[in-house]
Amino acid sequence: MAEFDLPRSWFLIVVTWLVMMTGSYWLGVYTVNYGLDDRRIRHGRSVSLVQKVQGGPIEKSAESPPQRKQMMKVVPPPDGPWRGDNEWRNQHFKTADDIRKYINTVFKLDRDIVSFSNFEHDTEKCHKHGEPYTECRGDTPVVRQKSCAIVGSSGIVRNSSCGREIDQHDFVLRFNFAPLEEFKDDVGTKVDLVVLGTYKLHIYTNSFAPDAEDKKKKEALSVKVQGKDEILTRLRQFNNTIIFYPKPLYDLELGVASGPSLRLEDLLQILDDHQLRATMTYNLVTLKDLTVEMLQKLYPDAEAPSVGVIAYLLALTFCDQLDLYGFYPLDFDPWNRTVRFHYHDDPLPGHGLFPKPHHYNTEYEFMRELDAKGVLTYHIDKCI
């Protein structure tokens, strides 16, 4: 009998192997078709960009996206400073003016907050050019302002009564459509620009996606969805604002648009369907790389900058006077009371996905230093 068992186990092994290979093939097909950032494979726009710019085969790059090369090498500047070298910093960034001048050499409004309506034209031009960081340009809807308030979503603004003071600024920047009406005494209602993160963009566009696709995405990536009414109530508080997506939308070296560009179009469609207006903007380069390089000189202790830091440094390039509210990265306030992560109850971008970074302490120190030098005014106290 033993002579017959051997071929039978080989047969079982071969069948098992075949089943596994077929399974992983279909899993691969599923991922390619339904992965969040791979919708470009089935849509025309970025494909045509690749064709025009590189003339290369499209499907190949779609199936195995090449690794994105580091656009800008982050190396310590040759003339210092090194971590802890405060002498160098104090010498180069003695005054608020020194610091603002330096920030203005790094950020360029007409490259870093540009209108999404010219996306194809601007990114293609930028990609073709050999020196994207110096020559990339687009149209910016942002103009110079006398006074700006930038309102983070930290629980530190709860019970602050700063709403009126915030609304008195010429230009108000906020984040992620954080609710205004229910908290207007503390955060105000005026808004001119809202910085939009990837997490919120995904929740909002998934929530309005057609059912079938929505379900698949939820299952594949367990991205949360929210009720449409809830989202619309929120979006109505942000009618006629500039929406700014600060993450890369386009790979300059590969000449490929990424999934979020289609999601921005989806969001514009959602707004349009509900009689809401917005000027969608994005950046032509990688703001995070620029900010990391900038911080190596300004504040070498700071590591990966949060979107909040990127936003207020950018705001310094067009705001004569800048007030920060609702920025508080620590768990306890100066009176040792617990500070909520958000002033509102939105789902945290977390639950294991994005743990609170450990370098938040340095962000706090950095804001205090900018305040002490008069670059901006950092508010954590009550107003009145």
Ligand X SMILES: *[C@@H]1O[C@H](CO)[C@@H](O)[C@H](O)[C@H]1NC(C)=O
Stretch that binds ligand X, among 195-203, 236-244, 251-259, 352-360 (CB under 6 A): 236-244
- The residue (of 272 and 303) whose beta carbon lies closer to ligand X is 272
Read off the amino acid at residue 173.
L
> Residue-wise over 250-282: b if at least 16 C-beta within 10 A, else e?
bbbebbbbbbbbbbbbbbbebbeeeebebbbbb
Angle subtended by helix axes 119-128 and 45-54, to nearest 10: 30
Please give the structure tokens belonging to residue 233: 């109530």
Q: Single out the residue of 236, 356, 368, 382 in contact with ligand X (rule: CB under 6 A).
A: 236
Stretch that binds ligand X, among 86-94, 100-108, 205-213, 269-277 (CB under 6 A): 269-277
Q: Single out the residue of 159, 168, 233, 361 in contact with ligand X (rule: CB under 6 A).
A: 159
- The residue (of 158 and 373) whose beta carbon lies closer to ligand X is 158
- The residue (of 119 and 238) whose beta carbon lies closer to ligand X is 238
Report d(CA 150, CA 166) in Å as an integer.
Answer: 8
- The residue (of 223 and 232) whose beta carbon lies closer to ligand X is 232
Binding status of residue 158 toward ligand X by CB under 6 A: yes
Q: Is 361 in contact with 330 (CB distance < 8 Å)?
A: yes
The nearest distance, CB 236 to ligand X, in angstroms, is: 5
- The residue (of 43 and 158) whose beta carbon lies closer to ligand X is 158
Binding status of residue 276 toward ligand X by CB under 6 A: yes
- The residue (of 208 and 299) whose beta carbon lies closer to ligand X is 208
- The residue (of 185 and 369) whose beta carbon lies closer to ligand X is 185
Beta strands at 241-245 and 250-251: parallel, antiparallel or unpaired: unpaired
Q: Single out the residue of 16, 240, 269, 377 in contact with ligand X (rule: CB under 6 A).
A: 240
Binding status of residue 277 toward ligand X by CB under 6 A: yes
The nearest distance, CB 185 to ligand X, in angstroms, is: 10
Q: Single out the residue of 161, 189, 239, 361 in contact with ligand X (rule: CB under 6 A).
A: 239
- Quick note: the x/- pattern for ligand X over 87-126, rule CB under 6 A, is ----------------------------------------
Binding status of residue 275 toward ligand X by CB under 6 A: yes
Stretch that binds ligand X, among 50-58, 262-270, 271-279, 355-363 (CB under 6 A): 271-279
Report d(CA 301, CA 228) in Å as an integer.
Answer: 42
Number of residues that bind ligand X (CB under 6 A): 10
- The residue (of 86 and 275) whose beta carbon lies closer to ligand X is 275
- Quick note: the x/- pattern for ligand X over 316-355, rule CB under 6 A, is ----------------x---x-------------------
Residues in contact with ligand X by CB under 6 A are: 158-159, 236, 239-240, 275-277, 332, 336
